[in-house]
Amino acid sequence: MIVELINTGSELMLGRVLNTHQQWLCRRLADLGHVVTRQVAVADSGRDIQQAVREALGRADLVVTTGGLGPTSDDLTRELIAQLLGRKLVPSPEVLAHIEAFFAQRGRPRPASTAAETLIPEGAKFFLNQYGTAPGLALRVNPDGTKWLVMLPGPPRELRPMFDDAVVPWLGREFPAETFVCRTLRSTGIGESRVQEMIEAGVQPFVQAGLQVGYCARPGAVDVRLAAGGAPAARLVQAGAAVVQEILRGHIFGFDDDEMEAVVVRLLTRRKRTLALAESCTGGNIAHRLTNVPGASVVFLGGAVSYANSAKETLLGVRAESLRQHGAVSEAVAREMAAGARARFGSDFALAVTGIAGPAGGTMEKPVGTVFIALASAGGVTVEQRLNPWDRVTFKDVTGTQALELLRRKLVG
């Protein structure tokens, strides 16, 4: 079965908004066993929309469109598709009643512009909109009934519940899917090419049996994605994952949507340990990421962003002599920052980072990207030196991930 997705919207083509529908729908459909083979975005123009739909229907068994079902002048999808397929638009009493109830509940008169939303292509199935007015629509395209076109409204808060509540059950009846299993192993500390070199031979037997292996490089991390379809899917993915985990061992920090900061908060919570931070060059990146995780306040006591040298002295008790003798970017200062943060916050662990984010500030001896990462615990302070010669924002992300990884390794022993 072939599934294609079409996203309509001029704002997409002008690059004014991010197309979150693609990821959301592709993810949902893949999890249901229907991997989307092609996604297309076009502007709100009759010619572009009709051409994209016509081509997709030529290839696919199921075409899903998003957007263009609303009441404004640039909402064209319903009419264009009815025209393309030679269907009349007919009034739906059920849809009209639903839209009238929607406005009655809000104590507002129904705007005249919603009239277009009460029309549906002849013979179409509709999905009522629980969070808006425009219904979703499903059309059997050919007489023998194997080809369908599904139209969904553009706003995510309308589309997502409609898909989960109405489209998923319908899909299950109309297109019973074969099993599809996908698992991502998230690694850190090794580059993308090295990851592939390490695991290639090990996964080879599973690849021959139908396992798909993909790689995705992220700042400071490499994702290995294992996927398979059909009856042996679960077994294949599980066996492949076991081999990859064995080979990459300590480098695997999480699975699927796990972020490093969430993994660290989880480990600290389980072990009832607390953390403090002393950030210089990462400038709050680590604190910001940790506090994005709900429940972080239980284990994260706080941090000092000590950009200026004086802040390193005042807030963290770094000695002026160490700063003079070794410079702010040095093993000695990283060590004192970590120890200082642990003492000031009274935490079990403290991470400290000092380095040169660039673009300016590098020297021959300490080029841009040089960074010292220290971890203080009851057993003392360990310091690692790294070189992360990336742009400023990536430097902060990669360095933050390395610091959290240092703590993660300590926590998992």
Residue 150 three-state SS: strand
Of 36 and 82, which has the nearer Cβ to its own copies?
36
What are the structure tokens assigned to 408, written together? 């993660």
User: What are 26's two structure tokens?
Assistant: 């592709």
* Separation CA 133–CA 187 (nearest Å): 44
- For tokens 């770094």, the residue is 318
Q: Rounded to an integer, what distance in angstroms lies between the CA atom of residue 269 and that of residue 291?
A: 14
In the complex, minimum distance from the CB of residue 334 to its own copies, in angstroms, rounded to a whole number = 16
- Smallest gap from Cβ 55 to its own copies, in A, equals 8
Give the nearer residue to its own copies in terms of CB position, either 184 or 245: 184
Nearer to its own copies, 70 or 135 (CB): 70
For its own copies, the closer CB: 242 or 393: 393
Query: Minimum CB separation from its own copies for residue 125, in Å?
Result: 24
Nearest by Cα to 343 from 311, 321, 318 = 318
Q: Are 342 and 276 in contact (CB under 8 A)?
A: yes
Helices and strands in the chain, H and E counts:
15, 17
Nearest approach in angstroms of CB 122 to its own copies is 25
Q: 79, exposed or middle or buried, with CB in 10 Å at 0-12, 13-18, 19+?
A: middle
Nearer to its own copies, 397 or 405 (CB): 397
Q: First vs last Cα of the chain: how many Å apart?
A: 47
Give dist(CA 138, CA 124) in Å, integer. 6
Residue whose CB is less far from its own copies, 85 or 315: 315
Q: How far is the CB of 145 from its own copies (least distance, A)?
A: 26
- Rounded to a whole number of angstroms, the minimum distance from the CB of residue 139 to its own copies is 23
